[in-house]
Structure formats: structure tokens, C-alpha cells
Amino acid sequence: MAVRNIAVTDTIEKFRTEFNAMTLNDFGDIATLDASLTATTLVGAMNETLSVATNTAGFRIEDSSSTQQLIGGGEVMRILGTSSQINAVVSATDTLTLSMPNAVSITTSITAPTVSTGNLSLTNGSITDSSGSIAFGNENLSTTGTFGSGNITSSGNISGVNITGSGTTHTLGTIEISGNVIRSTDSTQLKINDSLEVSGTLKTNTINTVSGSNIDLGSANLITSGFYYTSNTSGGIIFEGATADGFETFINVTDPTADRTITFPDNSGTVISTGSADAVTEAMMANDAIGQNELKSVVTLQILNSSGTPLKTLYGAGA
């Protein structure tokens, strides 16, 4: 195929001769076009030939935007996976396998009405499991928001959480809180391992223990910054003593008609009662501690001078 040029100074005859030669020798006679081709132009015949070659020795690939790419004979189509996202494996015969690795990393986001994995489903801010429960294993669960309605069950610790319910009764383990009443759901006894401090009044109605209607504190102390108060008409304080037997010391008061205060002095010693006999000792009396006012029946002995003026008066208990 020669290069054909028409100079500016050439004649029309020169142009006719070169044009006919080009169409006959370079383009070829259309009458000799293969009967399997229907195109009547050079460009059309080339496109039709390409289509035939593609159908027999190649193929096209197309994406979701309808963009196509021709893969001709002898060309290579490469499908590369993305690390931690998609695995691409080519195997015999003519097989391409696309899969996801065990651990998938997504750098953007997943948008779907429902995302399911095993029994677990995530839908519009709700996490559900067809098994009926979601276990977090040994992990910690924390939130700066609010737990909604329902039950909170944990075999571990719940710390730093404000639990607010819309109902009137709530259960934490075997402890039930209903209004301002706390009780145990599996026994009739609440056990407090640490110290108990009550800012208000500690009130008891009926207490039944193995030792009767008593509060058994064991070896612990009962401490109050207020008053120990008994409202029962026969109420008082009972001391068992060093020996646990059938004998105790009761401290009761006569029904008061006004507020009374009994104060123990700031010293150690034994309290003397009306039942004490020979309990007062000399060491308990100060010098000049007993005068005529302290004696029930008083007799006097006076020592007079020569003019009859008393020099000394002696007091004694009368018979």
C-alpha cells in the first residue's frame, strides 16, 4: 500500500487517477467483501470484524454503571483482592472464586436494613439474638447513655451505673426493691457484710431469730450517733453477762411523767443500788463528806466552854 499525495499544482486528472487507484488497490473492491460481513463501509467492516473476533476469541466485562471493557484474545484480566476485605483465587478450570477473609476490615461503613451474623441481628439501633440472650463474655460493658426498660442480669459486677426503672418493683440478683422496701427473694434474711450506718431512726417491728425476739449482733458493736430508743411499754436493755444461761440483768425505767436524765459520772466504779448491802466503803467517802443533812436520824453531842458556848458539835445516827 503506497502513500498517495495530491499536490496543489496537480490537475484534476491526477486527482482522479490517484483516487481510483486508492479505492481499488488500497481500500479494495467492495464486491470482494466476505459475504459474512454486512457492512458497506470500511469503518463498519472493521467494527463488525472486531465484534466477530471478540465473540470467538474475547469477551467484554461490564460494571454496575454499564461501563464496558473489551478483553480480547491473548489479553489478561486481573482481579486483585483487597487485604483483609476480599480474597480472589483463580483455579482450574476457568474458575474465579471471590471470598471474604476470617477477619474483615471495613474502613468506611455498612449500610443495610439488617446486618446479621449467626443468630445476632442489628436493625435500626436494635441488637437482637434469636437464642434469646446476648453474652459479652469476660468483656466490660459501659455506656454514657441510659439503659432502657427490661431486666439487667449479670454474673459479674455492675459498677458506676445508675439504674432507673419505670416500674415499681426491681430485682438485682435476689434483692428486690419495691418502692422504699428492700427484701430478699430467696430467704427471709438480708445479710450486710460491712458496717451499717443509719442517719435517721432505726426501727424494728418483729424480729424472730433462733434465740427468740432478739437482735443478735454476735461480737460486733451497735453504734449510733443518736439515741437507743425502745417504744414498747416493757422495753428495756438486757445484759446476758459472761455466762450464757437463763439469768440476765434487765434495765427498765418507770413510766416517766416528764423528761428525765440520769447521768453516769466520769469515773470507773460500781453502781450502787437500793439492793446493795455493805457496798459503801471508806474509800468512797471524802473527808467531811457526811454531815447532819446526810443522816436520817440525827443525834448531837456538843462540847461547851466554861461560859456555855459550843466549841464543837458531833453528829451521829440516832437509834
Q: How distant is the alpha carbon of residue 269 from its chain centre?
A: 57
β-pairing verdict for 237-239 and 120-123: unpaired
- Round to whole Å and give the CA distance between 252 and 236: 5
Cα torsion 187, 230, 267, 294 to 10°: value is: -160
Contact (Cβ atoms closer than 8 angstroms) between residue 299 and residue 317: yes
pLDDT tens track, the chain, 319 positions: 667 788 888 898 988 888 888 777 777 777 777 776 777 777 887 887 777 666 666 677 888 899 988 777 667 888 888 888 888 888 888 888 988 888 878 777 777 788 888 888 888 888 889 888 888 778 877 777 776 666 666 666 666 666 666 667 888 778 888 888 898 888 888 888 888 777 777 666 554 444 455 666 667 677 777 777 776 666 788 888 888 888 988 888 888 899 999 999 898 888 888 888 878 777 777 676 666 665 666 677 788 888 889 888 776 666 5
Per-position b or e across 41-72, b if 16+ CB within 10 A of its CB: eeeebeebeeeeeeeeeeeeeeeeeeeeeeee
